[in-house]
């Protein structure tokens, strides 16, 4: 089965072709980051319009890269949610229409399930069951995964997601959008021992997260270190380093608790923040102590992409699932409500 995957949940247009026997055949991606950085964040209306302009040319390009035609496509998978409703509608309407025109089934895919399954695209994928840390601009969740569609939410952020906190801290430091990669780059120049930021909610039991207090602590530190209203470059780097260390430590502490509570020995990290090298290094050290294993996707599949949607959609289609003729776009969609692929 060859599945065309379409991702348009936010500010990246992704298209991919996945063959359940041969694996990933081709993938293309267009990022809107340059456009949105001018405004300091994603502008939903601009995102939707850009998806309209880029999606069909990317489909054509992806088919060309794979040396396939529309006649070779057996099914279409598109991101149905969660995400920006206008952006979701572009991918859903286009994907559903192409499937109808080609006479093949279509399926709406949960965006975070796509991220969760992205490490399965690697040569050494994890085996079920495992614990998953989903960490991005919109989500920070710990999930026990027994199989595709068999998800138990263990903990989640009660306010800002980790990626959102990175972006807001970056804005306080005068950095561009998106802030996560820029904070990480600036942190490399900082002294990681000079400042110590709090590790929120690690002094109490449970697996929930909260990053709003860390954001406030960052703001107050910036205020206290300013001289004549200005912050030195050295101070900026030290703050970035302290913020990154606190975030990484918090995530690692919660992941260790999740492994201990579930008794599982495999941890996967997925989502945009999983590309952070400091986080990967910190979790590698933690799982080594726990005699466990860490899995993650290659860098280009950490952020939004069509490959993860094609793969997730393919697994559900192989299990006999598909969506009806209605165009699905769900800006809010709980992952633990998904149908199992048993």
- 3-state secondary structure string, 75-109? EEEEEEECCCHHHHHHHHHHHHHHHHHHCCCEEEE
The per-residue pLDDT for 283 is 97
Three-class DSSP category at 336: helix
Rounded to the nearest angstrom, the gap between the alpha carbon of residue 231 and the centroid of all alpha carbons in its chain is: 32
Residues 94-101, mean pLDDT to the nearest whole number: 97
**pLDDT of 143-181, one tens digit each?**
999 999 999 999 999 998 999 999 999 999 999 988 899
**What is the torsional sign of CA 99, 103, 338, 155?**
negative
Percent of the chain with pLDDT over 90: 90
The per-residue pLDDT for 248 is 96
- What is the fold of 128-296? Nucleotidyltransferase; domain 5 (3.30.420)
Report residue 104: phi and psi, to 5°: -125, 160
**pLDDT of 117-137, one tens digit each?**
999 999 999 999 999 999 988
**Is 138 marked as a binding-site residue?**
yes
Band of residue 321 on the pLDDT scale cut at 50, 70, 90: very high
Omega cis (within 30) before 8? no
Q: Where do the domains of the chain lie?
A: 2-117+301-337, 128-296
**Is 111 marked as a binding-site residue?**
yes
> Is 259:131 a contact under the CB 8 Å cutoff?
yes
d(CA 92, CA 48): 12
Using the predicted structure, report yes or no on whether residue 331 has a pLDDT greater than 90: yes
**pLDDT of 202-232, one tens digit each?**
999 999 999 999 999 999 999 999 999 999 9
**Is 137 marked as a binding-site residue?**
yes
Q: H-helix or E-strand containing 125?
A: none
- What is the fold of 2-117+301-337? Nucleotidyltransferase; domain 5 (3.30.420)
Instruction: For the chain, report the end-to-end CA distance as a whole number of angstroms.
Output: 19
**Is 136 marked as a binding-site residue?**
yes
Percent of the chain with pLDDT over 70: 100
Mean pLDDT taken over the chain: 95
The per-residue pLDDT for 31 is 95
Among residues 332, 338, 317, 271, which one has the least CA distance to residue 77? 317
Using the predicted structure, report yes or no on whether residue 320 has a pLDDT greater than 90: yes
d(CA 274, CA 57): 29
**Is 281 marked as a binding-site residue?**
no
Residues 69-79, mean pLDDT to the nearest whole number: 98
Percentages (nearest 5) of helix, strand, coil residues in the chain: 45, 20, 35
2-117+301-337 matches 128-296 in fold: yes
This prediction has a pTM of: 0.95
d(CA 9, CA 14): 10
Residue 42 is given by DSSP the state -
The per-residue pLDDT for 60 is 98
**Is 304 marked as a binding-site residue?**
yes
> Is 55:333 a contact under the CB 8 Å cutoff?
no
The per-residue pLDDT for 136 is 87
The per-residue pLDDT for 61 is 98
Using the predicted structure, report yes or no on whether residue 342 has a pLDDT greater than 80: no
**Is 110 marked as a binding-site residue?**
no
d(CA 72, CA 2): 7
**pLDDT of 182-207, one tens digit each?**
999 999 999 999 999 999 999 999 99
């Amino acid at each position: 089965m060859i599945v065309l995957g379409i991702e348009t949940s936010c500010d990246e247009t992704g298209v991919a072709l996945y063959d359940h026997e041969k694996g990933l055949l081709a993938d293309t991606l267009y990022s809107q980051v340059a456009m949105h950085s001018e405004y300091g964040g994603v502008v939903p209306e601009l995102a939707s319009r850009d998806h309209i302009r880029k999606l069909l040319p990317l489909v054509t390009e992806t088919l060309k890269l794979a040396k396939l035609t529309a006649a070779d496509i057996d099914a279409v998978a598109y991101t149905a949610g969660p995400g920006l409703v206008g952006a979701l509608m572009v991918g859903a309407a286009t994907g559903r229409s192409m499937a109808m025109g080609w006479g093949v089934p279509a399926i709406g895919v949960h965006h975070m399930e796509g991220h969760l399954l992205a490490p399965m695209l690697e040569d050494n994928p994890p085996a079920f069951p495992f614990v998953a840390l989903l960490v991005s601009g919109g989500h920070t969740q710990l999930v026990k995964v027994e199989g595709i569609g068999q998800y138990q939410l263990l903990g989640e952020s009660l306010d800002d997601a980790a990626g959102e906190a990175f972006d807001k801290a970056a804005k306080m430091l005068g950095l561009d959008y998106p802030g996560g990669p820029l904070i990480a780059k600036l942190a490399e120049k900082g002294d990681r021992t000079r400042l110590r930021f709090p590790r929120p909610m690690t002094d109490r039991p449970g697996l929930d997260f909260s990053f709003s207090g860390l954001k406030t602590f960052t703001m107050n530190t910036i205020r206290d270190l300013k001289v004549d209203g200005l912050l030195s470059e050295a101070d900026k780097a030290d703050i970035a380093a302290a913020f990154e260390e606190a975030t990484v430590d918090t995530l690692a502490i919660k992941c260790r608790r999740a492994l201990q509570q579930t008794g599982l020995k495999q941890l996967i990290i997925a989502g945009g923040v999983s590309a952070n090298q400091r986080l990967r290094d910190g979790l590698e050290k933690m799982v080594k102590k726990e005699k466990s294993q860490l899995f993650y996707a290659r860098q280009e599949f950490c952020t939004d992409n069509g490959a993860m949607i094609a793969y997730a959609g393919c697994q559900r289609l192989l299990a006999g699932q598909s969506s009806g003729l209605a165009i699905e776009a769900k800006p809010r969609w709980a992952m633990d409500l998904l149908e199992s692929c048993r």
